[in-house]
Structure 1
Amino acid sequence: MSKKSKLVAVSGGLQRPSRTLALVEAIVARIADAVPVDLHIVALSEIAADVGVALDRRNVSAEVEVHLRAIEGADALIVASPVFRASFTGLFKHLFDLVHQDALVDVPVLLAATGGSERHALVLEHQLRPLFSFFEARTLPIGIYASTHDFTNYEVTSAALRERIALAAQRAAPWLHPRREALSQAAALAI
């Protein structure tokens, strides 16, 4: 039996209900159909107050620390943020400011975002991809952008969006395997 990948999905939505969280859940469901995963969801809406008051990693709450460790120990990430003024939310960025800068080296990251219209779609390329390039993560080539009209009652209802999610999940699947253990073993052998 194959080992499950540690998949961490981060939803940067600050409200409940949230189209961003609905998008994340749709992506996760499609990936979980293809690859066995051990899932950890970080819903920023649930920890926003604790993240907002954390000046640095030394003074985060125990709950935020659990989420940060999950992010840092992930075999793969799905990250999604709503778009505000052409970028991700400030708290989404602050959450990743608390992640150790070397923790995501070579970790595959599937990028996603939600916004009011298609004019925000470039947030994937101009905001999210550079953020995760800083971490030296492996941002996957296909990102997912969804606008308000792709949802009905906070559920993905657009056929085109469902197709994009399916394609992204299919292309992400080969990257979703327990990489950290394999990398650690390879490093130990090299010593």
Structure 2
Amino acid sequence: MSPYRLAVVVGSPSPASRTKLLAQALADAVAAALPVRVQLIELATLAPQLLAGGEARALAPPAQAALQALAQADLVIAATPVYKGSYTGLFKHLFDLLDPEALVGRPVLLAATGGSDRHALVLDHQLRPLFAFFRALSVPSAVYASPTDLSEAGLASAALQARIGEAAAQAVALLRTLRPRAPAAPLPGPARATASA
């Protein structure tokens, strides 16, 4: 059975970030239920290539490969830190370069990190409208993490783990509906009931 293709966008301009920890935790939760092949798209690494070209066809091969991974993904995990009430400029630039038809009908799991809980609305006020433009299917539960939810060692909050489990279960259910494959193992723990709904 061929694995589902999972594109994970880490919108942080810094190579080591809480946003990457959150994105990886979401990818791991999906991978616990489905066979996946993960393509990590780290904008901190791709920044020079993304900013060197004004349009997609002028980009260097690594940046073109990132756009191709997005266009071919069965599921996109889009994670960004919050800066001044919105996603990063580099995150927006990546999606500015993506063909407007590339994500039509594609599930997208939204995630963000910020300096305090007051930034959590970025998920509904910034990220959902962006992916609505692409006519993507935003997973109903999005995941926001503040500094108290994450440490350098990883997840530091049971509430965050529950939110990750819920969002991953919804993403898995969408994938199974849109691209059915052979039966896969259910998600472990409390997310199991949600995944089978």
- Same fold, TM-score > 0.5, yes or no: yes
Q: Which moved more, 1:149-158 or 1:137-146?
A: 149-158
Aligned runs of 1:23-62 on 2, under 5 Å? 23-62=22-61
Partner in structure 2 of residue 3 of structure 1: 2
Task: Report Cα offsets for 1:35-81 as digits up to 9, x if no partner.
Answer: 11111110111111211222111211100001100001111110000
Per the alignment, do residues 47 and 154 of structure 1 end up closer, same or farther by CA in structure 2, a change over 3 Å counting? farther
Q: Is 1:83 aligned with 2:72?
A: no
Please say if residues 5 and 36 of structure 1, whose CA atoms lie closer than 8 Å, have aligned partners that are also in contact: yes
Closer/same/farther in 2, CA of residues 50 and 168 from structure 1, 3 Å limit = same
Match of 2:159 in 1: 160
Between the aligned residues of both structures, percent identity stands at: 44
* Structure 1 stretch displaced more, 166-175 or 95-104: 166-175
TM-score, normalised by the number of residues in structure 2: 0.87
Instruction: Could you list the structure 1 runs, at least 4 aligned residues long, displaced by more than 3 angstroms after superposition.
Output: 177-182
Matches of 1:34 and 1:146, distance apart in 2 = 23
Write 1 or 2 for the structure with the bigger share of helix. 1
AA partner of residue 123 (structure 1):
V
Q: In the aligned structure 2, how far is the partner of 1:180 from the partner of 1:95? A: 26
Are the counterparts in 1 of residues 57 and 64 from structure 2 also a CA contact under 8 Å? no
Q: Structure 1 counterpart of 2:146, which letter?
A: S
CA RMSD of superposed structures (Å): 1.7
**Residue identity opposite 2:94 in structure 1:** L
Aligned length: 181
Distance 1:154 1:15, change over 3 A: farther
Secondary structure at 1:176 match in 2: helix
What is the TM-score of this pair, normalised by structure 1?
A: 0.90
Q: Could you tell me how far 1:31 is from its partner in structure 2?
A: 0.8
Query: 1:19, 1:151 within 8 Å by CA — same for their partners in 2?
Result: yes
**Structure 2 unpaired stretches of 5+:** 182-197
